[in-house]
Amino acid sequence: MNTITMRPPVAAAKADRSYWLRSIEADAVTQPLQGAADCDVAIVGGGYAGLWTALRIKEQSPETRVTVLEADFCGSGASGRNGGQVHSWFAEIDMLRALVGEDDALMLCRATADAIEELNGLQTSGAVDMGLRLDGWLWTASSTAQEGAWAAARDLCLALGEERFRPLQRADILRRTGSDVSYVGIVEERAGTVQPAKLAIGLRRLALERGIVIHERSPVVEITPGPRPRLRTAGGVLAAGKVVLATNAWLSAIPELHPYLYVVSSQVVATAPAPDILERIGWTDGASICDAQHHVLYYQRTPEGTVIFGRGTGGIAYDDRIDGRFNRGGDGGADNIRELHRVYPQLKDVPVLCDWTGPIDCTAQHLPVFGHLKDHANIFYAMGFNGTGIAQTPVAGRIVASLVLGRDDAWSRCGLVGIGKRTRLPPEPLRYFGARVVRRAIRRKNDLEILNRRPDAVTRFLAGLAP
Ligand SMILES: Cc1cc2nc3c(=O)[nH]c(=O)nc-3n(C[C@H](O)[C@H](O)[C@H](O)COP(=O)(O)OP(=O)(O)OC[C@H]3O[C@@H](n4cnc5c(N)ncnc54)[C@H](O)[C@@H]3O)c2cc1C
């Protein structure tokens, strides 16, 4: 039986960790796997996807013995590094409908809206302190090329009777964000921001309370498939009835999945607290804001007045080998800082204290895919969150739990299950070198469009080749 070789992450040095992880001194609290162990379901990866899957399995089948193996510590991946923007899938309803049909698209969108309410419930009950603030998600344009990026999703929502979005004019955006660089857009009001690392750490606590076994600092290096797959780490071997691979971008190491997944980096910076300036310009609440560039800007202010400003970099690696550049870029966040000062010139003198990056697991359709490996019906995977996971992974957890538990229900039958109709990406080295050319064109296009200048035809053509 062929073994499956995993490619565990390069752990980030403490100084390269995200502002979110550093501000709560997040770290491992559970013991590494040692020796031989046994469980019903082994989950590889202790981010939101792995933890929600573990929680959903326990909700439906409390007697199932679930063990999570995490390479570093829970939340050390994308879940503890992201922009903290919480919004539903209604923003992607047009793409969802194209892939899974109208009924499933509506079900999945509504499920993410419910997930936001579930997060709110977890916070208000005191179960998970995640700093959730439902002050809205603003999807905006800061140049003419970006105007109306939301039209397809908004119009479809309206046609389906879902009034999720309200229009925003320049004055509304200025009043809510203290900047009018973005001057038109829409808002999803039951959405907002979280402290993402607190959410990950809170889910870990919830999982432990519910009897889920977690071993941190336990990178899985190899899986031997079979009726009872065996997962090998440096210190031990875990035998399981079923396995869930919830390792996000690191799933690109699995040859069967690699053709459907590409990994890009996104970079975030955090400023020193500047509550007085933010009060003065009127940016006071916990809204999340993004614009509609290809390398999207996403930002929020924390309750303490730190500005978190993120941007897709489009950074890639040959064969999707995720190295240390996916922990921290090495340029001190220069690109983000330039954009931060364009949107908020008032913050020019506020120091940036922290910069970091994280890998984004992308699919050609920009939507996740769930299933099991072709020759191994007991090894499942969840991948392709495409930079939108906070309200989506609780739903992913339901889908994967149904698959693992063998349920025949709306989750296991939904159109995100199965890789068959997904687009295969080109093999290496074409993929890497092609992506470099396309990335350069996208950046050129972005830079010109921000200035309301039209890129030349070659740039437009090459940028248009992006999946
Ligand atoms: C910079 C950035 C900004 C983002 N901004 C937002 C945002 O604002 N809003 C939003 O909704 N989403 C955002 N996202 C996306 C969101 O963070 C992800 O979709 C979500 O965290 C995915 O969760 P996950 O569990 O799949 O991945 P992860 O949190 O990455 O978890 C995977 C885990 O698997 C572990 N692992 C990998 N290989 C192994 C192995 N061999 N053995 C054991 N463990 C292993 C890793 O250590 C990691 O902890 C952003 C992502 C990034 C990177």
Give pLDDT tens digits for 376-397. 999 999 999 999 999 999 999 9
Q: What is the mean pLDDT of residues 161-186?
A: 97
Highest CATH level, class, for 132-193+261-362? alpha beta
> What pLDDT, on the 0 to 100 scale, is given for residue 1?
61
Contact 108, 89 (CB under 8 A): yes
| Residue 464 in tokens | 């248009």
Query: Ligand 1 centroid to 265 CA: how many Å?
Result: 11
Residue whose CA lies nearest to ligand 1 atom number 38: 8
Query: Ligand 1 centroid to 77 CA: how many Å?
Result: 5
Q: Which residues contact 144 (CB under 8 A, 6 or more apart)?
A: 449, 452
Query: Ligand 1 centroid to 12 CA: how many Å?
Result: 14
Per residue in 392-405, pLDDT (tens digit) is 999 999 999 999 99
Residue whose CA lies nearest to ligand 1 atom number 35: 45
Q: Identify the residues whose C-beta falls under 6 Å from ligand 1.
A: 6, 8-9, 44-50, 69-72, 76-79, 81-85, 219-220, 246-248, 250, 266, 268, 298, 310, 358-360, 385, 387-390, 393
- Cα distance between residue 74 and residue 429, in whole Å: 33
Query: Ligand 1 centroid to 86 CA: how many Å?
Result: 15
The values of phi and psi at residue 92, to 5°, are -115, 20
Judge whether residue 72 has pLDDT over 70.
yes
Judge whether residue 245 has pLDDT over 90.
yes
Closest ligand 1 atom, CA of 73? 49
| Residue 254 in tokens | 């699995």
234: left (phi over 0), alpha (psi -120 to 50) or beta: alpha
Judge whether residue 465 has pLDDT over 90.
no
User: Nearest Cα to 90, choosing from 190, 183, 194, 177?
Assistant: 190
Contact 65, 41 (CB under 8 A): yes
Residue whose CA lies nearest to ligand 1 atom number 10: 388
Lowest mean pLDDT among 172-181, 280-289, 438-447: 438-447
| Residue 54 in tokens | 């573990």
Q: What is the mean pLDDT of residues 190-194?
A: 98
> What pLDDT, on the 0 to 100 scale, is given for residue 153?
98
Query: Ligand 1 centroid to 267 CA: how many Å?
Result: 14
Contact 238, 230 (CB under 8 A): yes
Residue whose CA lies nearest to ligand 1 atom number 31: 47
Contact 249, 317 (CB under 8 A): no
Q: Which residues contact 429 (CB under 8 A, 6 or more apart)?
A: 318
User: What secondary structure letter does DSSP report for 301?
Assistant: E
Grade residue 73 by pLDDT with cuts at 50, 70 and 90. very high
- Cα distance between residue 176 and residue 192, in whole Å: 12
| Residue 465 in tokens | 């080749």
- Cα distance between residue 467 and residue 458, in whole Å: 17
Closest ligand 1 atom, CA of 382? 26
- Candidate from 17, 30, 55, 70 with most ligand 1 atoms within 8 A of CB, to mutate: 70
Q: What is the mean pLDDT of residues 304-313?
A: 95
Contact 360, 298 (CB under 8 A): no
Grade residue 295 by pLDDT with cuts at 50, 70 and 90. confident
Judge whether residue 327 has pLDDT over 70.
yes
What are residue 238's DSSP bridge partners? Answer: 37, 231
CATH topology of domain 4-81+197-260+365-404: FAD/NAD(P)-binding domain (3.50.50)
Q: Give the amino acid at 237.
A: V
Closest ligand 1 atom, CA of 11? 47
Closest ligand 1 atom, CA of 84? 8
Q: Please, where are the H alpha helices in 28-129?
A: 48-60, 93-100, 102-124
- List the domain boundaries for the chain: 4-81+197-260+365-404, 132-193+261-362, 430-463
Grade residue 313 by pLDDT with cuts at 50, 70 and 90. confident
Using CA atoms, how far residue 323 sits from 50, 173, 244, 260, 363, in Å, is: 22, 38, 24, 20, 20
- Cα distance between residue 243 and residue 51, in whole Å: 14
Residue where the block lists tokens 């590094």: 81
- Candidate from 390, 395, 399, 400 with most ligand 1 atoms within 8 A of CB, to mutate: 390
Grade residue 294 by pLDDT with cuts at 50, 70 and 90. confident
Q: What is the mean pLDDT of residues 268-283?
A: 98
What are residue 298's DSSP bridge partners? Answer: 290, 310
| Max CA distance (Å), the chain | 65
**pTM of the predicted structure, to 2 decimals:** 0.97
Judge whether residue 321 has pLDDT over 70.
yes
- Candidate from 238, 388, 400, 416 with most ligand 1 atoms within 8 A of CB, to mutate: 388
Closest ligand 1 atom, CA of 268? 1
Mean pLDDT, the chain, whole residue set:
96
Query: Ligand 1 centroid to 78 CA: how many Å?
Result: 3
Query: Ligand 1 centroid to 384 CA: how many Å?
Result: 10
Q: 297-322 burial by CB neighbour count: b if 16+ within 10 A, else e?
A: bbbbbbeebbbbbbbbbbbbbebbeb
Closest ligand 1 atom, CA of 267? 1
Query: Ligand 1 centroid to 460 CA: how many Å?
Result: 31
Lowest mean pLDDT among 238-252, 343-357, 376-390, 422-436: 422-436
